[in-house]
């Protein structure tokens, strides 16, 4: 997969993308990450990339010409994403969907926003990482990239690792334990040391549903009916959050 990121702050990505799973995936040739410095496509001697908004108001808006030039310089854009607080909230389903693309491009929003004509001409979808505002789209771009890359076949080594993650199957993940068996008076649940794999599977499923019901009951509303989900709160009214 090719991942291109258009940003005013390319150095922000060096530490994140130069470590851990993303770095290993790139080293193994499973992904190619291209960081595009928007300032290099700025207008005039001062490389201007922003201007005051028509109609007045505070702040500055990213101009369309530099972003268009940056996008058109790419050998392959694939699906183009704009990070913006007004976008649809990013979910694990989006990460899985995007991991199947051959290429994606993320445009990092900044300042008061991006000239609307960029979205009209180039952007396939606008994505937010939550109901809050950050100083720029770089951190959301990192989060999206990380979530997508780890779902690409071969990246985690064992593809089944990702299927147990929180949100993958619409539930939060079950509790985990490791050695020692007793820590400060708290013991590992007996079922986990029983050797009964079917009992362990059932326990993990029950704990996942229990945790989801306690912390994120909205996820249970959005899930299809499942006989294993005791007390399942299925929404039959077409909940548009799902």
Type and span of the H or E element at 88: strand 79-89
Q: Which residues contact 235 (CB under 8 A, 6 or more apart)?
A: 221, 222, 242
User: For residue range 16-42, what is the model confidence (pLDDT) as tens digits?
Assistant: 999 999 999 999 999 999 999 999 999
The verdict on 43 and 107 lying in the same domain is yes
**Are residue 24 and residue 59 in the same domain, yes or no?**
yes
Among candidate residues 94, 165, 206, 226, the one labeled active-site is: 165
- Could you say which of 77, 85, 94, 205 is catalytic? 85
- 4 burial via Cβ count (<10 Å: 0-12, 13-18, 19+): buried
Residues 140, 150, 213, 223: which is the catalytic one?
Answer: 150
Q: Could you confirm whether 85 is annotated as catalytic?
A: yes
Active site residue 205: no
Note whether 173 and 134 are same-domain residues: no
- 37 shares its domain with 135: yes
* Local confidence pLDDT in tens for the 242 residues of the chain: 999 999 999 999 999 999 999 999 999 999 999 999 999 999 999 999 999 999 998 899 999 999 999 999 999 999 999 999 999 999 999 999 999 999 999 999 998 899 999 999 999 999 999 999 999 999 999 999 999 999 999 999 765 455 545 455 688 999 999 999 999 999 999 999 999 999 999 999 999 999 999 999 998 987 655 545 544 444 444 444 56
150 tagged catalytic: yes
Identify whether 11 is a catalytic site residue: no
Number of domains in the chain: 2
- Cα 209 to Cα 191: distance, rounded to the nearest angstrom: 17
Q: Is residue 238 part of a domain?
A: no
Residue 62 lies in a domain: yes
């Amino acid at each position: 997969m090719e991942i291109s990121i258009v940003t005013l702050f390319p150095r922000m990505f060096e530490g994140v993308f130069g470590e851990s799973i993303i770095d290993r995936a790139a080293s193994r040739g499973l992904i190619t990450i291209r960081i595009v410095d928007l300032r290099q496509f700025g207008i005039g001697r001062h490389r201007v990339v922003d201007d005051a908004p028509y109609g007045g108001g505070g702040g500055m808006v990213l101009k369309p010409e530099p972003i268009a030039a940056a996008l058109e310089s790419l050998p392959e854009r694939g699906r183009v994403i704009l990070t913006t607080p007004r976008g649809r909230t990013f979910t694990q389903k989006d990460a899985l969907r995007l991991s199947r693309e051959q290429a994606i491009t993320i445009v990092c929003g900044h300042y008061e926003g991006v000239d609307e004509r960029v979205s009209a001409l180039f952007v396939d979808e606008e994505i937010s990482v939550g109901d809050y505002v950050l100083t720029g789209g770089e951190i959301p771009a990192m989060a999206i990239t990380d979530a997508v890359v780890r779902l690409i076949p071969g990246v985690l080594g064992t593809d089944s690792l990702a299927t147990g993650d929180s949100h993958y199957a619409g539930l939060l993940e079950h509790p985990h334990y490791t050695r020692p068996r007793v820590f400060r008076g708290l013991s590992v649940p007996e079922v986990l040391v029983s050797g009964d794999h079917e009992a362990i599977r059932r326990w993990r499923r029950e704990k996942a549903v229990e945790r989801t019901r306690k912390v994120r009951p909205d996820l249970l509303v959005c899930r299809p009916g499942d006989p294993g989900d005791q007390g399942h709160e299925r929404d039959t009214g077409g909940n548009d959050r799902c």
